[in-house]
C-alpha cells in the first residue's frame, strides 16, 4: 500500500483556495527542512538550541578551498544529526565567489545537497544560496 504523505509548507501560510494551512508534498517538505537547517544558526531556536548549521557565518570567512571543505563537513554533520532518519546523502557541492568561474558573487555561497529520501528511495537535490 502506497501512502501519500503531505506536510505543512514552509514558510507557514494560508492557502487562499482551500482556506487552511498550505501543505507540501513529502519531498518538498524535506527540501524545506534542509533549507531551514542550513540557514538556521545554532542557538537561534530557543527550544532546540543545537539545531542549525550556521552557514551565514561562513559568508564572512575568506572564500577559498578550505572554506568549501569546512562547509561540506558542517552540512554533512548537521544533516546526519537532524535529518539522518529521512535522507541518505549522496553529495554536497559548495561554490563560493572565490572562483570567478563558479557563477557566484563574492561574499556568497551556493550549497547543493543531493540525497535519497529514505521512505521513497527517490533521488532529490536542493540548492541553497547563502548571502
Position 70 scores a pLDDT of 92
Position 111 scores a pLDDT of 95
Residue 11 has pLDDT above 90, yes or no: no
CA 113 to chain centre: 7
Q: Tell me how far apart the alpha carbons of residues 16 and 112 are, in angstroms, rounded to a whole number.
A: 32
Number of domains in the chain: 1
Helix (H) and strand (E) counts for the chain?
3, 7
Task: Look up the CATH number of the domain holding residue 73.
Answer: 3.10.450.40
Residue 95 has pLDDT above 70, yes or no: yes
pLDDT tens figures, 26-72 = 888 899 999 999 999 999 999 999 999 988 888 888 888 888 899 99
Position 5 scores a pLDDT of 65
Q: What does DSSP say about strands 6-8 and 123-130: parallel, antiparallel, or unpaired?
A: unpaired
In a domain, 95, yes or no: yes
In a domain, 65, yes or no: yes
In a domain, 1, yes or no: no
Q: Which domain holds residue 86?
A: 6-130
Amino acid at each position: 500500500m502506497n501512502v501519500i504523505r503531505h506536510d505543512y509548507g514552509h514558510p507557514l501560510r494560508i492557502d487562499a483556495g482551500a482556506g487552511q494551512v498550505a501543505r507540501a508534498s513529502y519531498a518538498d517538505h524535506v527540501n524545506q527542512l534542509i533549507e531551514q537547517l542550513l540557514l538556521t544558526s545554532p542557538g537561534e531556536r530557543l527550544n532546540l538550541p543545537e539545531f542549525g548549521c550556521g552557514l551565514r557565518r561562513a559568508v564572512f570567512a575568506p572564500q577559498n578551498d578550505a572554506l568549501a571543505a569546512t562547509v561540506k563537513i558542517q552540512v554533512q554533520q548537521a544533516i546526519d544529526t537532524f535529518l539522518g532518519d529521512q535522507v541518505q546523502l549522496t553529495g554536497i557541492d559548495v561554490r563560493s565567489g572565490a572562483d570567478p568561474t563558479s557563477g557566484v558573487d563574492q561574499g556568497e555561497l551556493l550549497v547543493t545537497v543531493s540525497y535519497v529520501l529514505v521512505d521513497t528511495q527517490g533521488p532529490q537535490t536542493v540548492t541553497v544560496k547563502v548571502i
